[in-house]
Amino acid sequence: MDTWQVLAAVAAAPRKRPGPGDDAVGHRTVDTDTGLWLVAACADGAGSAALGRRGAEVAVRQALAWLSTRLKRSRRAELPLAGLQHAVDRALAAEARRRGVTVRDLATTLVCAVAGPQRTWLAQVGDGAAVVQTDETPHWQMPIWPDRGEHVNETQFAGDPRSQWRCAELPRAHALALLSDGLLPVAVDQAARQPFQPFFTGFAGELARRDVDELRPAFEAFLTSPRLAERTDDDVSLVVAVRRAQAGADVPA
């Protein structure tokens, strides 16, 4: 059975440090009758929201819980987008009631990936990104383009019934990455509307060959590095995952 190597971390924008920033990430593996699945999520709380970071945490936690439960209960290879959206929106509404605030105070983007033995699903709302390398091609793909709106810092958020969630179904993934919009300037060729291949191949190649614990310090240091801060002034979050069984053979150098 395949296993997954996963690195995940967040870092606040330099101007916010030593605070935690407004991003959140999470991942888990789910063992089902059809095999082992990876579920991962990345959220970016709105900078204009009073409790954006809390909204990001709630969205990630609820997405992982709902997707994991769905995988365990369903024998059909499908993941209904409407169910995920409803679950996340409901969790944000409950958190808003508990705190005596509006859902807008918890506004957050969200991007999710579900990677199984045969298929891969992506779902997102807002301007995060999911990048995938599948059985069909060695090149990294971004099936859903980040929703950046017509104006600077404009996007859609979970919890807002007017927001448009988008999804994609792909072949089996060898590797995948989720990132918040703070990393788009260094990870995406926005003119060509494509992932920057060396960025993702570098991380995935190392993760395929080396252990997570060995790589984690350098991975986290990259997200707080002065070099990265020169390219982006936003919070950054990144999840990179590689199938262990594919190490060396399926992740091109």
Q: Strand 4-11 to strand 236-243: parallel, antiparallel, or no bridges (unpaired)?
A: antiparallel
The amino acid sitting at 100 is G
CATH architecture of 4-246: 4-Layer Sandwich (3.60)
Residue 33, both tokens: 């009758």
Mean pLDDT per segment of 10 residues, for the chain of length 253 residues?
92 90 96 91 95 98 96 72 93 98 97 94 96 92 84 79 93 97 94 94 94 96 95 95 64 37
DSSP characters for 172-240?
-EEEEEEE-GGGHHHHEETTTTEE-HHHHHHHHHHHHHS-HHHHHHHHHHHHT-HHHHTT--S-EEEEE
Give residue 80's pLDDT: 77
CA separation for the pair 207, 4 (Å, rounded): 10
The domain spans of the chain are 4-246
CA distances, 113 to each of 16, 132, 203, 239 (Å): 28, 9, 18, 10
Phi-psi region of 3 (alpha: psi -120 to 50; beta: other; left: phi over 0): beta
pLDDT given for residue 141 in this prediction: 96
Spatial distance between the Cα atoms of 96 and 55, rounded to a whole number of angstroms: 9
Query: Which pTM was predicted?
Result: 0.92
Query: In this predicted structure, what is the pLDDT of residue 135?
Result: 85
pLDDT at 250: 42
**Per-residue model confidence (pLDDT) at position 150:** 56
